[in-house]
A and B are shown apart, each in its own frame.
Chain A
């Protein structure tokens, strides 16, 4: 079974800086195959640095990142991992189709594949429009469409649903689950807590650390809460750095 296979991503004791700033201090996690895994945490907690490390464009200080059984950043992984950066990385002076045609040429994907990803991201009506003339949500969908080309085995999506209309957001989550059902592994970050319930598994992150790695239901049961935000707060309160002594010192 796909799910029993080795995890899509294994990170062990990862230390990384963004610029000169230490962001990840000894982080470990694993992303199972064929599931939608949510990386949930506030802005600035290190989600992007972690995702960049998995994709292999981040200089890391130490630690191990294994993606689909190989060291992250290995040349053979570049066609097997799709990455969507937080800000839409598309060419504003090209049309939607021209953007995708270029990415397809780099990946060696077919013309049919371009049509497929345009449909999947609901961009058919905008295909001939310049990316620069699109709304923010549409541009980020072009960026997402580019990552879907060539059907990569792992998708790393940095806040792909930010600023989207709720109907479209529901559609995209449905798309993520359809992709997972065909065996694609997805790591999707968000700083919006209520998106957590749409994931198969959650990684809750804060200050460069993973606070929890569980299913949404398991997380709520373990913390005795009934929404992810409350669970997040409960985990922060229970964290060693917020032990009673430290908190009393803060109160006085």
Chain B
């Protein structure tokens, strides 16, 4: 691992994205449009104030997971990964470089999504908007790091796209959006405690309703950060310089 090579990798990934303005627009706008759609669906009910925070967790998470896993898979498929791994680039440099680049995009995307939810869709935030943004960013970076990890196990685009329903959908179903987590059957509730998205949704709802103190939200943030670090480390370990 070497900071110069890590940052060179982040810079390179961002330059690639800069050459693809449509991706930037989709990345920044799609989660907000979906949140807007949800707000519109529930416009005559008080439901949006309950599910709105969960939507801020959901859409950026999914978008970042997909974009990251496909980008890194593309790197594998075009032979550039093989080239890089024959060069003095650490596996950690590669994974962390990607995490930082997409992490930066996640900050922008989350800022747009939070701003749009609060000021355009009228989502009521009783707690700190900055804390809400911090959790939203952590959540989007979580999507990135899980996407990096998933792409290490995928050989083709078909496989990587199917990791989405396999890894992401259970977290959505068990995250407390459909049914509050304390009303889930015991086994599922315990299982959902282990899923990172549950904690992101809990934290966002706690900030929105100001029902918990900052220490609670900080604890949830730590759990999400733990998952991010775990996925980055595991992603670096599972990356193989030698392939069959």
Contacts and interface: CB of A to CB of B under 8 A. Distances in A.
Interface of A: 17-20, 55-59, 73, 75, 78-79, 81, 83, 85, 87-94, 98, 102-103, 105-108, 130, 143, 146
A108 B85 CA distance: 15
Nearest to A75: B88
B8 A146 contact: no
B4, B9, B12, B89 — which one has the most chain A CB atoms within 10 A of its CB? B12
Contact of A18 (B78, B86, B89, B244): B244
B20 interface: yes
Contacts of A88: 79
7 closest A-B pairs (Cβ-Cβ)?
Answer: A105-B8, A89-B79, A89-B83, A78-B88, A102-B12, A93-B19, A93-B16
Given A89-B80, A93-B20, A59 B244 contact: yes
Interface string B1-35: 00011001101100110011000000000000000
B241 interface: yes
B105 to A, nearest CB: 15
Contacts of A103: 87
B86 A58 contact: no
Contacts of A143: 83
A106 B83 CA distance: 11
B241 A73 contact: yes
Interface string B60-100: 00000000000000000011101111111100000000000
Contacts of B242: 56-59, 73
Contact of B12 (A75, A78, A79, A98): A98
A175 B78 CA distance: 26
Given A17-B244, A58-B244, A89-B79, 19 more contacts: A56-B86, A58-B243, A73-B241, A73-B242, A79-B88, A81-B86, A83-B86, A85-B79, A94-B12, A94-B16, A94-B19, A102-B11, A105-B4, A105-B5, A106-B5, A106-B89, A107-B87, A143-B83, A146-B83
